[in-house]
């Protein structure tokens, strides 16, 4: 009977040691970002439980002399398993050199921000145009669609990689990626340019950032163009705002699931919830960004209309931690809409027919911003610049030059794509 009990206890020791090791790993990771410390704590948890439970189990089995070899072998086996499943990094290519034309701002916020500029022709004296990319954390490469036309009309045009993305600063503690920090960086850019006011062109999350900047500094924005903007305030949509991942074909969905569900990424996700600095220490930016890029490439064509041209591919890296932590912070900030209801800045809102974002997410801008115009664009998805580039360019140019828009404003309150 003792031998049976010993065998059962030994099996229980294996399970309990694994659980104890994981628990110690996460408890210590909550207070330090030292990988050797929290990984070592996990191993100590395995050793302690293996010894405490292995000792009576081996005595009942009649082989107490094997306690030390059992503890050593059990610890080695679990460490090897953890090394294979959790500590094997995702391949990350070395960073490519910045293309010609990329320059950097060293801002008083501490951010080193990569940007590109196209100087406007003539001396028109327009406020500078600042393109704000989406994501958070998914910059483009070079100058966005419409830049050439705006420069020809006399606007200085800038596009920059937001904090934690592209070639800009990565923070040692990802907890610093907040909406307030992004707003502060944009205000510091305005001061660096010596501009009294800016013109903001925000795409997707860039629309959310534009709204946050408008709420904080309404007197420093001349005009804003918001294309497929993300939610002004995500808690206003408890049912979700819509996701491109809901539209992936089955084969791509399977590949996306494989990228997001391996043990290393699951551990990284848990660490993000308890100590973002520990998550980054274990999975560095280069690796996390490479995995995010692989995921984005799978989903890049799920955001347009069916049969649309494939979205272009570039090499400017996304920022995983900026994406994750900024998104979490955006869901926790105070509702900016009460302030925005008093902002009289002219705003153009573009909505594509096949945008995956829910209609109410877009329309929330129209009903919140008193001096806004909404245009509906058939044949375009989330990336209007990719789906209808000519119309996109002409809309921005006409709006910024105070000319008649090439399409009429949409004055309804419901989604014309669904006829309701």
What are 109's two structure tokens?
Answer: 């916020």
Best CA proximity match to 144, nearest among 244, 227, 243, 231: 227
What architecture does CATH give domain 103-400? 3-Layer(aba) Sandwich (3.40)
Q: Where are the domains of the chain?
A: 2-85, 103-400
Does position 293 have pLDDT exceeding 80, yes or no?
yes
Q: Please give the pLDDT value at position 249.
A: 84
Does position 420 have pLDDT exceeding 60, yes or no?
no
pTM: 0.94
Share of the chain above pLDDT 70, in %: 99
Does position 419 have pLDDT exceeding 90, yes or no?
no
**Confidence band, pLDDT 50/70/90 cuts, at residue 247:** confident
């Amino acid at each position: 009977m003792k031998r049976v009990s010993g065998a059962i206890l030994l099996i229980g020791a294996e399970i309990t040691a694994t659980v104890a090791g994981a628990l110690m790993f996460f408890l210590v990771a909550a207070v330090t970002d030292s990988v050797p410390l929290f990984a070592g704590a996990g191993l100590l948890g395995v050793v302690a439980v293996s010894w405490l439970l292995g000792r009576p189990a081996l005595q009942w089995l009649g082989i107490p002399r094997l306690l030390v070899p059992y503890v050593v072998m059990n610890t080695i086996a679990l460490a090897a398993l953890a090394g294979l499943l959790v500590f094997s990094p995702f391949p990350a290519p070395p960073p490519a050199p910045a293309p010609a034309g990329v320059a950097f701002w060293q801002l008083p916020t501490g951010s080193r921000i990569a940007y590109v500029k196209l100087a406007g022709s003539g001396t028109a004296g327009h406020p500078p145009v600042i393109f704000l990319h989406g994501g958070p954390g998914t910059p483009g490469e070079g100058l966005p669609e419409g830049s050439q036309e705006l420069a020809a009309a006399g606007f200085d045009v800038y596009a920059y990689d937001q904090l934690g993305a592209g070639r800009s600063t990565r923070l040692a503690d990802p907890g610093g990626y907040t909406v307030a920090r992004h707003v502060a960086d944009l205000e510091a850019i305005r001061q660096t340019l010596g501009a009294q006011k800016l013109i903001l062109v925000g795409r997707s999350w860039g629309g959310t950032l534009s709204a946050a900047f408008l709420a904080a500094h309404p007197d420093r924005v001349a005009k804003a163009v918001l294309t497929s903007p993300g939610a002004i305030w995500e808690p206003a949509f408890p049912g979700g705002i819509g996701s491109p991942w809901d539209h992936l074909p089955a084969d791509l969905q399977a590949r996306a699931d494989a990228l997001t569900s391996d043990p290393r990424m699951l551990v990284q996700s848990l660490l993000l919830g308890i100590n973002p600095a520990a998550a980054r220490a274990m999975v560095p930016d280069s690796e996390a960004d490479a995995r995010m890029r692989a995921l984005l490439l799978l989903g890049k064509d799920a955001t347009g209309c069916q049969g649309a041209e494939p979205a272009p591919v570039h090499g400017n890296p996304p920022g995983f931690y900026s994406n994750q932590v900024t998104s979490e912070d955006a869901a926790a900030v105070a509702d900016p809409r009460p302030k925005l209801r008093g902002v009289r800045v002219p705003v153009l809102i573009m909505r594509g027919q096949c945008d995956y974002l829910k209609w109410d997410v877009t329309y929330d801008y129209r009903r919140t911003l008193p001096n806004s115009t909404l245009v509906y664009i058939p044949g375009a998805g989330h990336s209007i610049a990719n789906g209808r580039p000519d119309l996109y360019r002409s809309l921005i140019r006409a709006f910024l030059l105070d000319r008649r828009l090439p399409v009429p404003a949409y004055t309804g309150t419901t989604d014309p794509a669904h006829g309701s």
